[in-house]
């Protein structure tokens, strides 16, 4: 018996050694000289793939676009993109792989707040600029401790401010909120609660639902028993559409306000008839055709939407825009600063009046997001189309 | 009166989901009784049912035809799954077999993702969108379809297992494989058949629920786990038990998320599972304890 | 003789650790190897439970999470000493394991599997929903590095040595458990519980003991995770991870301590190697899992040795 264990044990150790050597192979293969390598890290598979997939597509498209124009400063750009599956440990592993193996000069992504938070203490000490595509306010603050971390997505804070402005105008005082149990929904809930008092609103019901839930009638039935004058739903993917359908089924006729997480064509498709009349804050991408030509974002968005839809044959979502803006901001900075991380970060925070898909960016050493509440417009769904609400 | 309408609303919601859990749970129960395997790919057959019916109906087939074809197609997939993944490993331990089903589930889900992409697809309800009102509570016609067809399937299954030669042979093979073999029943065929039958039940659940929940490649996992809970709660050995377990689970979930806290809705199912395992391990209706192989 | 070999193995193991720790460039290797190390710790415990006590747990990710969150919350929010926090995590896991284990282990069959499945999912939901304590789905940030006797394990290299020193410790502890009276009693139970009972082995107490030990291993790994990554999120402790752990045990080979090392390493590295296939990754992962289980049901190490043995015999036959 003892002998058997020893043989297997000896083999075990040599197998382990072999594995370590095999891993060495993973790290070899240096990048070509005249190539600028950037990293992409998105939740391409897993429950949040609706974010990661358009972000990956967009980044690939944007890289091809810039190379067709001759690259940046005469150098071709290459993007190495990994999938973190929405998992924090995977994100860390891939972030260090991007830095060590692929020698990227900057990273775009991750798609989610938790995965972004998870890799900050890898990218920050390595002095690699990180431009996150996630919504969480905490990603870029405190900004003094994170000079290399930026983000392009609008924060939930701004969306809530926009919604509350609208509700005040409509003289609504009592609201019910129903939020998804994901980082997006929880940060939305926190902001809804935090800003309610200041806006003179009373939250009479607080409900939650799971990302993959398929029936929200119990929560809405409970809301029906409260004096709420409007329902605010904070979610992404098919679930908020089910909330809309369930409200219709229950005959709950008070206004339904969705978050910017529902600002995609898919939402209208999912919700069908129930989408009619829903109000939500959306990035300007949803209604870019209705924007006046004087709007600096209009031409940027038009260019992005037309190229994306032509290339991928699928309706565009605002999520890909986060990666598009991140790439363009990064290329702008690289064009001026070259490939040194510290210089890129310094150049990034100097960017002013930069029209992007998600808004006009005004970055500064104090603000590494650079968007204001005007990045959102309130829209209403009418006959399956977005309409600007004045 | 108002309170009553509220309660009734929870119960409608619960019964609709519960019927689906029951169908999925029956799939677990059939395979478990035939092979002592917990088939973790069961939820993926639900997903396949939903996505295949949506694909057929997008091709322009009439809904009834699309429904039948979808269930048939998924049944074939279930038979193929047994043939390709389970039978080659029949000498393996039950633990290995369970892991094979996990791998199979991952594979099926991955293939569905490649084939259908990551977006959800919608399917029109079988008849009408307008909710019916009953004592102040509303119910969708689709929910009535779900409950009625589930009832029909359960009765049909019961009749099949008790009144047909094939059904009797399946039961014999599951009670005592050795004795069954002695009287000339081909046990391996019965095992394959049990996979086909479970896949059919799973697909039926997917087909029925698609108009309400939409179809998406990753919908199967959680539904599968809930179905598993339903099966264990009711008692893996009894059809009636599994149905009861499913309905109970659905209603408990709806009541918990309406009256207690919606955040812990999914926890309710597993909490009941634990309580049943600890205090009545054979399940609420189970007549015999789980086999101990 | 046996003791001498054990010391030799330990020597070789730590030499390897020291070598790789000082030679590895950058953080990628270290992050990957740390993850492998943590997985090895959990899998060693789970293999004692599955391979020797013949029970499955489908909820070990929960103990991993309990350790991680206890350490994270106590050290970051309440400024408790990391070692005390780690011990608190172990205590909590013991308590929970006993509560879940006692009723479940009374029964034969897969009751522990079903109970741990339910328990694991409930714990994962609690991590998500108790956001006032755990930070919810956004994750828990700012966990300080591990401190012990005035040492601070802050650099990647220091973390590597911390994790792998403990991997070694747990590895040799497990080897000793297997060779001890407990191990022999466990094997007896595995072969025939009735016979073991007749010999005066208290099967139920032993099974519970091993279940608790395996929970402790997982909890320890969780605490180490918290201190090596400084950030934890509920998505790392879900049902799928529990399944992955079981898979590591089976791929490595049940009742094979050294196989556990390989199983954990292979299944942690495999997704990395498959990343080049993009969306095909999951499909290939599922396929490999099935193929290994179908053709090498005794696990990778034993399976490959069997195949090798078979070929050798054939050759000799000729």
Sorting pLDDT into bands at 50, 70 and 90, what band is C155? Answer: confident
Residue C304 vs residue B167, higher pLDDT: B167
Which residues in chain A touch residue C133, judged by CB atoms under 8 angstroms apart? none
What is the CB-side half-sphere exposure of residue C272 using CA atoms within 13 A? 30
Q: Determine phi and psi for A264, rounding to 5 degrees.
A: -135, 155
Task: Report pLDDT for C297.
Answer: 79
Range C227-235 average pLDDT = 91
Express each pLDDT in B253-292 by its tens digit: 999 998 888 888 889 999 999 999 888 888 888 665 444 3
CATH classification at residue B116: 1.10.3470
CB-CB under 8 Å, A96 with C27: yes
Q: Report the alpha-carbon distance of residue C175 to residue C170 in Å, rounded.
A: 9
Decide if pLDDT at A30 tops 60.
Answer: no
Task: State whether ipTM is beyond 0.95.
Answer: no
Task: Report pLDDT for A152.
Answer: 95
Q: By three-state DSSP, how is residue A215 classified?
A: coil
What per-residue string of b and e applies to A218-243 under the rule 16 or more CB within 10 Å gives b?
bbbbbbbeeebbbbbbbbbbbbbbbb
B214 touches chain A (CB under 8 A): yes
Task: Report pLDDT for C9.
Answer: 79
Q: Pairing between strand C151-153 and C146-148? A: antiparallel
* Mean pLDDT estimate for chain A: 89
Express each pLDDT in B20-38 by its tens digit: 999 999 999 999 988 888 8
Express each pLDDT in B202-224 by its tens digit: 999 999 999 999 999 999 999 99
Which residues in chain B touch residue A244, judged by CB atoms under 8 angstroms apart? none
Host domain of residue B257: 2-126+134-279
Q: Which candidate in A97, A120, A156, A191 is best for mutational testing of the C interface (most C CBs within 10 A)?
A: A97
Decide if pLDDT at C108 tops 80.
Answer: no
Decide if pLDDT at A247 tops 90.
Answer: yes
Q: Report the alpha-carbon distance of residue B32 to residue B30 in Å, rounded.
A: 6
Task: Report pLDDT for A346.
Answer: 94
Range C159-188 average pLDDT = 89
Shortest alpha-carbon distance between residue B259 and chain C (Å): 17
Structural domain total, chain B = 1
Task: Report pLDDT for B95.
Answer: 78
Task: Report pLDDT for A27.
Answer: 47
Sorting pLDDT into bands at 50, 70 and 90, what band is C318? Answer: low
B118 touches chain A (CB under 8 A): yes
Q: Which A-chain residues 112-141 have CB contacts (< 8 A) with chain B? A: none
Task: Report pLDDT for A13.
Answer: 54
The DSSP call for residue B288 is S
- Picking from A134, A135, A104, A139, the residue whose alpha carbon sits closest to that of residue A121 is A139
Decide if pLDDT at A102 tops 70.
Answer: yes
CB-CB under 8 Å, B13 with A215: yes
Class of domain A156-289+376-388: alpha beta
CB-CB under 8 Å, A251 with B138: yes
Express each pLDDT in C257-296 by its tens digit: 888 999 999 999 988 888 777 778 788 888 888 888 888 8
Sorting pLDDT into bands at 50, 70 and 90, what band is A25? Answer: very low
Asked if the structure places residue B293 within a domain, the reply is: no
Rg of chain B in Å (alpha carbons): 19
Range B53-81 average pLDDT = 96
Q: Where are the domains of chain A?
A: 35-154+299-372, 156-289+376-388
C neighbours by CB contacts (3+ pairs under 8 Å)? A, B
Crossing angle for the helix pair C111-129 and C239-252, to the nearest 10 degrees: 140
Express each pLDDT in A295-340 by its tens digit: 999 999 999 999 999 999 888 888 899 999 999 999 999 999 999 9
Express each pLDDT in B145-165 by its tens digit: 999 999 999 999 999 999 999
Express each pLDDT in C22-35 by its tens digit: 777 778 888 899 99
* Mean pLDDT estimate for chain C: 88
Strand order of the β-sheet with A35-42 is A76-83, A35-42, A107-108, A130-132, A149-151
CATH hierarchy code of domain A35-154+299-372: 3.40.50.2300
CB count in 10 Å sphere of residue C26? 16
Task: Report pLDDT for C22.
Answer: 73
Shortest alpha-carbon distance between residue A32 and chain B (Å): 32
- Picking from A380, A373, A50, A325, the residue whose alpha carbon sits closest to that of residue A182 is A50
Rg of chain A in Å (alpha carbons): 23
* DSSP secondary structure letters along A280-347: EEEEGGGGGGGS-TT-HHHHHHHHHHHHHHHHH-S--BHHHHHHHHHHHHHHHHHHHHTT-HHHHHHH
Q: Which candidate in B16, B132, B214, B270 is best for mutational testing of the A interface (most A CBs within 10 A)?
A: B214
Asked if the structure places residue B292 within a domain, the reply is: no
Q: By three-state DSSP, how is residue B257 classified?
A: helix
- Picking from A332, A268, A142, A160, the residue whose alpha carbon sits closest to that of residue C142 is A142
Q: CA–CA distance from A190 to each of A228, C34, C155, C316 (Å)?
A: 19, 35, 35, 73
Range C298-315 average pLDDT = 81
Q: Is A338 exposed, middle or buried (0-12, 13-18, 19+ CB in 10 A)?
A: middle
Rg of chain C in Å (alpha carbons): 20
The residues, any chain, with a CB within 8 Å of residue A179's CB and separated by 6 or more, are A185, A186, A188, A189, A192, A206, A207, A208, A209, A233, A234, A235
């Amino acid at each position: 018996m003892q002998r058997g264990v020893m043989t297997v044990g000896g083999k075990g150790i040599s197998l382990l050694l072999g594995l370590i050597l095999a891993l060495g192979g993973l790290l070899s293969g240096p990048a070509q000289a005249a190539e600028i390598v950037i990293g992409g890290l998105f939740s391409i598979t897993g429950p949040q793939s609706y974010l990661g997939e358009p972000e990956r597509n967009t980044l690939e498209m944007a890289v091809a676009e810039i190379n067709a124009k001759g690259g940046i400063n005469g150098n071709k750009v290459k993007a190495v993109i990994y999938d973190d599956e929405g998992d924090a440990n995977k994100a860390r592993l891939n972030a260090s792989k991007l830095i060590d193996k692929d020698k990227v000069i900057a990273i775009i992504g991750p798609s989610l707040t938790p995965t972004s938070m998870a890799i900050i203490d890898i990218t920050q000490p390595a002095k690699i600029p990180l431009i996150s595509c996630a919504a969480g306010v905490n990603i870029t603050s405190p900004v003094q401790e994170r000079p290399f971390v930026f983000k392009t997505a609008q924060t939930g804070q701004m969306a809530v401010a926009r919604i509350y402005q609208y509700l005040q105008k409509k003289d609504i005082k009592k609201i019910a909120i129903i939020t998804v149990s994901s980082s997006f929904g929880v940060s939305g809930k926190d902001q809804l609660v935090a800003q309610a008092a200041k806006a003179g609103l009373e939250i009479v019901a607080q409900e939650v639902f799971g990302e993959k839930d398929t029936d929200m009638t119990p929560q809405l039935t409970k809301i029906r028993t409260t004096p709420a004058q409007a329902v605010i739903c904070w979610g992404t993917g098919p679930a908020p559409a089910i909330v809309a359908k369930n409200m219709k089924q229950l005959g709950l006729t008070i206004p339904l306000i969705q978050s910017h997480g529902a600002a995609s064509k898919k939402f209208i498709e999912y919700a069908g008839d129930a989408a009619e009349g829903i109000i939500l804050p959306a990035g300007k991408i949803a209604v870019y055709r209705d924007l006046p030509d004087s709007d600096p974002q209009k031409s940027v968005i038009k260019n992005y939407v037309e190229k994306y839809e032509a290339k991928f044959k699928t309706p565009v979502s605002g999520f890909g825009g986060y990666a598009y803006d991140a790439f363009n901001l990064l290329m702008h900075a690289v064009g001026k600063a070259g490939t040194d991380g510290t210089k890129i970060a310094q150049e990034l925070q100097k960017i002013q009046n930069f029209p992007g898909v998600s808004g006009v960016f005004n970055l500064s050493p104090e603000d590494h997001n650079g968007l204001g509440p005007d990045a959102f417009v309130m829209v209403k769904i009418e006959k399956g189309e977005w309409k600007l609400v004045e | 009166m108002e309170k009553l309408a509220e309660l009734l609303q929870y119960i409608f919601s619960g019964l609709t989901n519960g019927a689906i859990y029951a169908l999925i749970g029956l799939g677990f129960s059939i395979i478990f009784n035939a092979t002592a395997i917990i088939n973790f790919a069961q939820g993926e057959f639900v997903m396949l049912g939903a996505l295949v019916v949506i694909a057929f109906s997008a091709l322009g087939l009439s809904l009834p035809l699309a429904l039948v074809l979808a269930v048939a197609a998924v049944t074939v997939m279930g038979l193929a799954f047994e043939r390709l993944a389970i039978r080659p490993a029949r000498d393996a331990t039950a633990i290995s077999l369970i892991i094979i089903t996990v791998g199979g589930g991952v594979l099926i889900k991955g293939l569905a993702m490649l084939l259908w992409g990551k977006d959800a697809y919608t399917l029109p309800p079988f008849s009408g969108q307008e909710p019916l009102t009953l004592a102040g509570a509303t119910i969708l016609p689709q929910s009535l379809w779900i409950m009625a067809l589930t009832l029909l399937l359960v009765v049909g299954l019961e009749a099949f297992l008790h009144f047909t030669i094939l059904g009797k042979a399946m039961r014999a093979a599951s009670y005592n494989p050795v004795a069954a073999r002695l009287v000339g029943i081909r046990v391996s065929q019965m095992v394959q058949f049990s996979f086909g039958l479970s896949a059919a039940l799973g697909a039926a659940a997917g087909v029925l629920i698609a108009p309400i929940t939409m179809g998406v490649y990753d919908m199967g996992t959680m539904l599968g786990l809930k179905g598993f809970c339903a099966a264990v709660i009711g008692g893996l050995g009894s059809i009636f038990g599994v149905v009861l377990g499913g309905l109970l689970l659905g209603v408990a979930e709806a009541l918990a998320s309406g009256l207690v806290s919606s955040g812990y809705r999914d926890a309710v199912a597993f909490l009941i599972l634990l309580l049943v395992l600890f205090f009545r391990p054979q399940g609420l209706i189970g007549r015999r304890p789980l086999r101990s192989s | 003789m046996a003791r001498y070999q054990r010391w030799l193995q330990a020597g070789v193991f730590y030499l390897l650790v020291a070598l790789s720790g000082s030679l590895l460039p950058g953080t990628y290797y270290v992050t990957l190897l740390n993850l492998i190390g943590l997985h090895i710790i959990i899998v060693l415990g789970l293999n004692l439970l599955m391979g020797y006590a013949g029970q499955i747990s489908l909820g070990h990710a929960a103990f991993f999470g309990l350790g991680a969150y206890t350490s994270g919350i106590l050290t970051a929010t309440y400024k408790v000493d990391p070692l005390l926090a780690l011990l608190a995590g172990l205590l909590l896991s013991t308590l929970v394991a006993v509560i879940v284990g006692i009723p479940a282990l009374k029964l034969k069959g897969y009751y522990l599997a079903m109970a741990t499945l339910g328990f694991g999912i409930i714990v994962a939901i609690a991590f998500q929903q108790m956001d006032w304590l755990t930070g919810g789905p956004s994750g828990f940030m700012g966990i300080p590095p591990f401190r012990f006797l005035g040492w601070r394990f802050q650099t990647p290299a220091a973390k590597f040595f911390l994790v792998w020193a403990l991997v070694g410790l747990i590895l040799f502890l497990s080897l000793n458990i297997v060779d001890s009276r407990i191990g022999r009693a466990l094997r007896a139970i595995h072969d025939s519980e009735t016979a073991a009972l007749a010999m005066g082995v208290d099967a139920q107490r032993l099974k519970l003991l091993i279940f608790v030990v395996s929970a402790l291993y997982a909890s320890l790994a969780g605490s180490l995770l918290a201190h090596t990554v400084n950030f934890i999120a509920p998505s790392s402790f879900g049902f799928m991870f529990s399944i992955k752990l079981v898979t590591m045990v089976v791929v490595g080979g049940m009742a094979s301590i050294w196989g556990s090392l390989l199983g954990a390493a292979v299944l942690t590295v495999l997704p990395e190697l498959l990343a080049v296939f993009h969306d095909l990754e999951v499909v290939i992962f599922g396929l490999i899992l099935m193929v290994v289980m179908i053709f090498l049901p005794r696990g990778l190490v034993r399976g490959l040795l069997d195949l090798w043995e078979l070929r050798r015999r054939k050759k000799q036959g000729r």
